[in-house]
Amino acid sequence: MAKNKGNKKDKGNAKGNNKGNEKESNEIKRGPIQMLKDNTLRIQLQVKPNAQISQVIEYTNDYVGVQLSAPPKDGEANTECVKYMAEALGVKKSEVSLIGGMKSREKVIRVETSDIDGIEKRLKSLVN
């Protein structure tokens, strides 16, 4: 009986994963930037805290590399991440939110804009 319960859970997870994949297939993805159905952008970041200055250092197919001047303690790096990314992207701080990776160097932000071309161009131009 224990095996059946495990199999049911596995089937449930597989169904959940398929729904997620279907949802993603209807959305625009360009490298580390994804436009969601609600016309906001989701951007994959890889952050390096404790840098001398906050800056974009890399743009790959998988993530945007960002150095942050804040340390990774007490949420300081997360706060700096939102603040810096808003400034770097030319949007209001209230239009950027951290939606994943609160305790990780791999973070996900949501930006309240549908201008995927402008954001992609801006991020690429910031790479030092």
Shared-domain flag, residues 43 and 97: yes
Quote the domain boundaries for residue 51: 31-126
What are the distances in angstroms from CA 13 to CA 1, 6, 17, 20, 100?
Answer: 19, 11, 6, 11, 20
Of 6-10, 44-48, 49-53, 94-98, the one with minimum mean pLDDT is: 6-10
Shared-domain flag, residues 58 and 1: no
Shared-domain flag, residues 9 and 49: no
b/e 59-87 (16+ beta carbons within 10 angstroms → b): beeebbbbbbebebeeeebbebbbebbbe
Shared-domain flag, residues 39 and 18: no
* Spatial CB neighbours of 122, under 8 Å, sequence gap ≥ 6: 88, 89, 90
Query: CB of 111 within 8 A of CB of 81?
Result: no
Shared-domain flag, residues 57 and 86: yes
Greatest CA span in the chain, whole angstroms?
Answer: 58
Shared-domain flag, residues 13 and 36: no
pLDDT of residue 128: 66
How many whole angstroms separate alpha carbon 9 and alpha carbon 14? 9
Percentage, residues of the chain above pLDDT 90: 77
Number of domains in the chain: 2
Shared-domain flag, residues 82 and 95: yes
- Across 87-109, average pLDDT: 97
- Across 113-121, average pLDDT: 95
- pLDDT band of residue 22 (cuts 50, 70, 90) is very low
Shared-domain flag, residues 49 and 77: yes
* 23-69 pLDDT tens trace: 444 678 999 999 999 999 999 999 999 999 999 999 999 999 999 99
Shared-domain flag, residues 72 and 46: yes
Shared-domain flag, residues 19 and 42: no
Shared-domain flag, residues 14 and 55: no
Shared-domain flag, residues 23 and 55: no
Average pLDDT, the chain: 85
